[in-house]
Amino acid sequence: MLSSPGIGSGLDVNGIVSQLMKVESQPLTDLDTKEATQQTRLTAFGTLKGALSSFQSSLSALSDPAKFNAVSANFADNTLANASATSSAIAGSHSVEIQTLAQSQKLKSASFATTSTAIGSGTLTIQFGTYNGGTFTLNPDKAAQSITISPGNSSLSGIRDAINQANAGVSASIVNDGTGNRLVIASQDTGLSNALKITASDDDGNNTDNAGLSQLVYDASTGGTTNLSQTVAASNATLVIDGISVSKTSNNITDALEGVTLNLLKANPGTTTTLNVSRDATGAQSAVSSFVKAFNDLNTTIVNLSKYDAATKKASILTGDSTVRSIQTQIRSAISDPLTTAGGGLSLLSEVGISFQSDGTLQFDSSKLSSALYDPTKDVSTLFASVGKTSDSLVSFTSATSDTVNGKYSLNISRIATQGTAIGNTAAALTINTGVNDSLSLTVDGTNANITLAAGTYTATSLAAEIQSKINGASAFSSAGIKVAVSESAGKLAIASNRYGSASIVSITGGSGKSDLFGTPVETAGVDVAGTINGIAATGSGQTLTGTADSSGLVLNVTGGSTGARGEIDFAHGFAAKLNKLVGDMLDGHLIDSRIDGINSSIKDIGSQRDALNQRLADTEKRIRAQFTALDTTMASMTQTSTFLTQQLSKL
pLDDT in tens, 488-507: 999 999 999 999 999 999 99
pLDDT for res 8: 66
For the cut 80, the answer to whether the pLDDT of residue 5 exceeds it is no
Return d(Cα 408, Cα 60) in angstroms, integer: 25
- At 385 the three-state DSSP class reads coil
Q: How many Cβ atoms are within 10 Å of 589's Cβ, its own excluded?
A: 10
**Contact, 574 vs 339, CB < 8 A?**
yes
For the cut 50, the answer to whether the pLDDT of residue 359 exceeds it is yes
Q: What share of the chain in percent tops pLDDT 90? A: 69
Strands 530-533 and 536-537: antiparallel
Closest CA to 554 of 345, 386, 385: 386
pLDDT for res 318: 86
pLDDT for res 341: 63
pLDDT for res 342: 54
Q: Please report, for the chain, how many H helices and E strands are present, in that order.
A: 12, 38
Who contacts 46 (Cβ-Cβ below 8 Å, separation ≥6)?
Answer: 596
Return d(Cα 321, Cα 326) in angstroms, integer: 9
What would the mean pLDDT of 210-230 be, rounded to a whole number? 95
pLDDT in tens, 303-331: 999 888 888 888 888 888 888 999 999 99
Q: How many Cβ atoms are within 10 Å of 579's Cβ, its own excluded?
A: 24
Closest CA to 303 of 316, 292, 294: 316
> Which of the listed ranges 7-11, 534-538, 587-591 does the model predict with the highest average pLDDT?
534-538
Average pLDDT, the chain: 92
pLDDT in tens, 26-60: 988 999 999 999 999 999 999 999 999 999 998 88
> Which of the listed ranges 252-256, 388-392, 596-600 does the model predict with the highest average pLDDT?
252-256
pLDDT for res 25: 87
Kind plus residue range of the DSSP H or E element containing 138 = strand 135-138
Phi, psi of 93 (to 5 degrees): -125, 140
- At 124 the three-state DSSP class reads strand
CA 153 and chain centroid, separation: 42
DSSP string, 69-88: S-EEEEESSTTTEEEEE-TT
What Rg, from alpha-carbon coordinates, does the chain have?
Answer: 42
Higher pLDDT among residues 628 and 491, named by residue: 491
For the cut 70, the answer to whether the pLDDT of residue 4 exceeds it is no
Confidence of residue 634 (pLDDT cuts 50, 70, 90): confident
Q: Which has the minimum average pLDDT: 108-112, 243-247, 262-266, 640-644?
A: 640-644
Terminal Cα-to-Cα distance of the chain (whole angstroms): 34
| Contacts within 8 Å (CB) and 24+ apart, 610-618 | 610/28, 610/31, 613/27, 613/28, 613/31, 614/28, 617/21, 617/24, 617/25, 617/28
Query: Using alpha carbons only, what angle is made at residue 305 by residues 299 and 311, rounded to the nearest 5 degrees?
Result: 105
pLDDT in tens, 181-195: 999 999 999 999 999
Type of residue numbered 38: Q
Confidence of residue 607 (pLDDT cuts 50, 70, 90): very high
pLDDT in tens, 104-142: 999 999 999 999 999 999 999 999 999 998 999 988 888
Query: Using alpha carbons only, what angle is made at residue 478 by residues 559 and 543, rounded to the nearest 5 degrees?
Result: 15
Return d(Cα 108, Cα 183) in angstroms, integer: 6
Return d(Cα 165, Cα 107) in angstroms, integer: 18
